[in-house]
């Protein structure tokens, strides 16, 4: 098996006190570049902050995929965020996963930045019904919607949480697919949220503000709403909106599609032609998952 050498850029800040440590990662999926830009913005802001703990920022974890503006590595097409902690003697992506795994070792906290598409919304994802600290930290992160994970294995933040006890969160941001689009507004807002989060957890000096009005949701509905026939699609809701059961959230020609339950809208495309079976709107139930439910 060929042995690969990786030159992953890490931006490190060493604190002057005994505060906790955190690692922030971006571009585990190469085209999810709003997260990369957010991470770089945080690095710039940290230059002017008094650090009590240590920070490592890895803006680009999957460099070949990043440069190709695609989700998986060019070398083998494997989904890096399904194979952590990887293997030293595996294929390209397995070795890369193991390399990133080692670079993120020994940190108290982790924030992994992703993108959910051009028409996606902002939300924090975590296993809050299993880990009490994730529920609290997701609230402190300040992204208004918290989505319960489906528990898919091999993800960096989940594996770090389960195997290392790292207090990990994943944030999904609009942008990324297709073509590595950066949602600038979201990147700037996310940077500010992370800086406030760093104050709340004691990594940088200052008094953080505890966010309010955080909504905890269930797992994203895999099916969402799908077109029952060909036609012209028009969304009547925006990504990130909250809807009540029965609200009209999309139309295809003259047919209206209603929300099947109270929900957070995680994605909603723009006007376009659609065909039978195409997904129209993505959403997650606006209902907090209780311990033991999932």
Given a cut of 90, whether residue 121 has pLDDT beyond it is: yes
Structure tokens at 95: 């070795």
Q: What is the mean pLDDT of residues 157-167?
A: 97
The per-residue pLDDT for 116 is: 95
Tell me which residue has tokens 């979201």.
Answer: 186
Cα–Cα dist 40/87, whole Å: 28
Span 7-21, pLDDT tens digits: 999 999 999 989 999
Summarize the confidence of residues 165-177 as an average pLDDT: 96
What residues does each domain of the chain span? 11-200, 218-285
Distance, in Å, from the CA atom of 85 to the CA atom of 290, rounded to the nearest integer, reads 28
What is the CATH code for 218-285? Answer: 2.40.50.100
Q: What is the pTM of this model?
A: 0.96
Going by pLDDT thresholds of 50, 70 and 90, the confidence category of residue 1 is confident
Fold classified for 11-200: Aminopeptidase (3.40.630)
Could you check whether 11-200 and 218-285 share the same CATH topology? Answer: no
Cα–Cα distances in angstroms (integers) from residue 274 to residues 9, 133, 233, 267, 268, in the given order: 42, 42, 6, 16, 13
| 146, 134 Cβ separation under 8 angstroms | no
Average pLDDT, the chain: 96
241-281 pLDDT per residue, tens: 999 999 999 999 999 999 999 999 999 999 999 999 999 99
35-88: per-residue pLDDT in tens? 999 999 999 999 999 999 999 999 999 999 999 999 999 999 999 999 999 999
- d(CA 141, CA 45) in angstroms, rounded, equals 17
Q: What is the pLDDT of residue 233?
A: 98
For residue 293, pLDDT over 80 is answered with no
Sign of CA dihedral 36, 37, 43, 45: negative
Nearest to 114 by CA among 65, 77, 162, 78: 65
* Calpha distance 37→177 (Å, rounded): 15
261: number of Cβ within 10 Å: 15
């Amino acid at each position: 098996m060929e042995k690969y050498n990786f030159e992953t850029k890490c931006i490190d800040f060493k604190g002057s006190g005994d505060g906790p440590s955190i690692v922030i990662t971006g571009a585990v999926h190469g085209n999810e570049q709003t997260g990369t830009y957010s991470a770089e913005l945080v690095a710039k802001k940290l230059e002017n902050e008094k650090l009590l703990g240590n920070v490592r920022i890895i803006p680009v974890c999957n460099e070949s995929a990043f440069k190709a503006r695609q989700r998986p590595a060019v070398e083998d097409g494997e989904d890096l965020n399904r194979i952590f902690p990887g293997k030293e003697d595996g294929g390209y992506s397995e070795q890369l996963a193991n390399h990133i795994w080692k670079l993120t070792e020994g940190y108290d906290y982790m924030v992994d930045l992703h993108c959910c598409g051009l028409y996606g919304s902002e939300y924090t994802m975590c296993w809050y019904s299993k880990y009490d600290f994730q529920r609290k930290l997701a609230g402190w992160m300040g992204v208004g919607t918290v989505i319960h994970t489906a528990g898919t294995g091999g993800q960096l933040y989940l594996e770090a949480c389960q195997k290392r006890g790292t207090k990990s969160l994943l944030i999904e941001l609009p942008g990324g697919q297709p073509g590595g689009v950066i949602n600038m507004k979201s990147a700037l807002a996310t940077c500010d949220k992370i800086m406030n989060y760093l104050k709340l957890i004691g990594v940088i000096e200052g008094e953080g503000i505890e966010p309010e009005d955080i909504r905890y949701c269930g797992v994203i509905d895999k099916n969402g709403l799908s077109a029952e026939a060909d036609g012209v699609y028009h969304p009547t809701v925006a990504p990130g909106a909250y809807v009540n059961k029965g609200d009209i959230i999309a139309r295809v020609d003259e047919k209206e599609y209603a929300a099947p339950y109270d929900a957070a809208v995680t994605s909603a495309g723009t006007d376009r032609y659609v065909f039978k079976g195409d997904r129209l709107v993505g959403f997650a139930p606006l209902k907090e998952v209780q311990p033991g439910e999932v």
